[in-house]
Amino acid sequence: MQKNIQYAGEYRLKELLLHTSAGNVLPLTQAVQSIDIYEDMFSTSLSGVVTILDVDNIAENGPIIGQEFITLKISTPTLDDEKIEIMFATYKVETREAINQDVQFIAISFTSIDLLNNKKVRISQSYTDQIHDIIEEILRDTRYIGTDRPIFIEKTAGIRKVICPNLHPYDFINNLINEAQTEKDGAPFFFFFENLKGIQVKSLGSILADNAVGDFNTGDLTVSPKDRGVTIDIEKDFNRALEFQINSNSDMLLNRMSGMLGSKTINYNIYNKSFDTFEYDYFKDFEKFPRLHENPSYNDIGENFSNSRIFLHPTNFKGATDSSHTNTTSAYFTSPSGISNAIAARRAKLMELNNGVSITMKINGNTTISAGQTMNLTVPVSGRAHDKENDKFYSGRYLITKARHTFNQPDKRHEILLTASKDSLPSELPSVASPIPRTKSGSTTLLT
């Protein structure tokens, strides 16, 4: 990576154009101060803010009213194949502040064009297909989203016959994601989000199967100012954290209430007027689907959490087919809703990623890193009297769930502030030596 790159975080702003609603195209490359782009695995679309110093009164001459489009092209030197090349839609003038009589500061909020298209249309029709094909059709259909962004979509299991009752396309897609299961192993952990690479419809197992995007550490930084004639190690600067913190995590009360550690699903079959009860147990089901590591984040102390949360879901099936739509003349059989099989494990997984072990870290940026990727992190131990150099619980593999890319134009530096989570530990927790201590007896005093 060091060839043709002078320092970690260097980037090239190749193009920044503002297309106004009046038909004007304004080059902002010389006026821009910073560009922030936000990615989130739990959000359907990209968003961001561009700030400019306006010395030509383009706010009025454009005019800029929050109804424009922005064409953006950015690359990291030596990584032109991984360049950012996206058109965004502006939706709000965040700030407009006069610095003096000749200069004003303008901050413009933008988001994906697809999100604005989503908000202006609704779907009222039925679909009979596999979930991944239904989602792709909606995203490409010019009556609805009509996106021209790359789509990375994973195959789902079963054929579904579903009706969309006058919903926005993204709302309907999220409903489908909640019951989607992988074709390979029936895992219910699908995500629908957009990152800098495109629109992602992928399972957690598929994400974990990809190689880590980098090996990072929280060690001391090297001195790497771009304006000094010193020998620097660019590779090490890319791999070291500029800032690092371990977030508050592992809220046992919240994890009990949410059903992360255990829950019960009552599946009521309206076809034959029967019901089945399924229990989800964090420890018993731990190895059922792929994880970042092989060890649980909690100790199994023999408690039963099945009544912590109860889900009730009606379904309509006979055998392995949906009895609402399948008949003897059908050329195929439609699958019943997979929500009852997915809801407990899926909710538990989302709680793990949102409220489990997580870190926040700032690094020197490059255009290969996005939300929805994994990374390796080495965290040194704190304090004295340790027999190992690295923290055996907080080191290891993480899933990048959120990323804020900041391109600072005066400094020509790209930095990424990311949040990363893990759903398991690389090392086993100490074994439970004895049951939970309890008082020998209690007393009740009746007050009159």
Residue 6 to residues 83, 235, 410, 448, Cα–Cα distance (Å): 18, 11, 16, 81
Tell me the pLDDT band of 176, cut-offs 50, 70 and 90. Answer: very high
Radius of gyration of the chain (CA): 26
Helical spans, DSSP H, in 299-446: 339-355
| 3-class SS string, 187-207 | CCCEEEEEECCEEEEEEHHHH
Q: How many CA atoms lie within 13 A of 391 on its CB side?
A: 17
66-125: per-residue pLDDT in tens? 899 999 999 998 876 678 999 999 999 988 888 888 889 999 999 999 999 999 999 999
Q: If DSSP codes are grouped into helix, strand and coil, which group holds residue 255?
A: helix
What distance in Å separates the CA atoms of residue 189 and residue 140, rounded to the nearest whole number?
23
Tell me the pLDDT band of 322, cut-offs 50, 70 and 90. Answer: low
Residue 346 has pLDDT above 50, yes or no: yes
CB-CB contact of 306 with 258 (8 Å): no
pLDDT at 95: 86
Q: Which one-letter amino acid corresponds to residue 177?
A: I
What distance in Å separates the CA atoms of residue 265 and residue 275, rounded to the nearest whole number?
10
Residue partners of 182: CB distance under 8 A and separation at least 6: 154, 155, 156, 157, 190, 203, 205, 206
What distance in Å separates the CA atoms of residue 68 and residue 329, rounded to the nearest whole number?
53
Q: Are strands 374-378 and 215-217 parallel, antiparallel or unpaired?
A: parallel
pLDDT at 435: 59
Residue 190 has pLDDT above 90, yes or no: yes
289-317: per-residue pLDDT in tens? 999 999 998 888 888 888 888 988 777 76
pLDDT at 227: 47
The tokens 């490359």 sit on which residue? 29
The mean pLDDT value for 239-261 works out to 86
24-46: per-residue pLDDT in tens? 899 999 999 999 999 999 999 99
The tokens 């994880």 sit on which residue? 291
347-388: per-residue pLDDT in tens? 999 999 988 889 999 999 999 999 999 999 999 887 665 666
Residue partners of 437: CB distance under 8 A and separation at least 6: none
N- to C-terminal Cα separation, the chain: 79
Helical spans, DSSP H, in 129-202: 131-140, 169-179
Which of these, 83, 93, 68, lies nearest to 18 by C-alpha position?
A: 68
Distance of CA 295 to the CA centre of its chain: 23
pLDDT at 315: 75
Which of these, 214, 219, 241, 245, lies nearest to 363 by C-alpha position?
A: 241
pLDDT at 437: 65
What distance in Å separates the CA atoms of residue 32 and residue 106, rounded to the nearest whole number?
10
The mean pLDDT value for 422-442 works out to 75
124-154: per-residue pLDDT in tens? 999 999 999 999 999 999 999 999 999 999 9
What percent of the chain stands above pLDDT 90?
A: 54
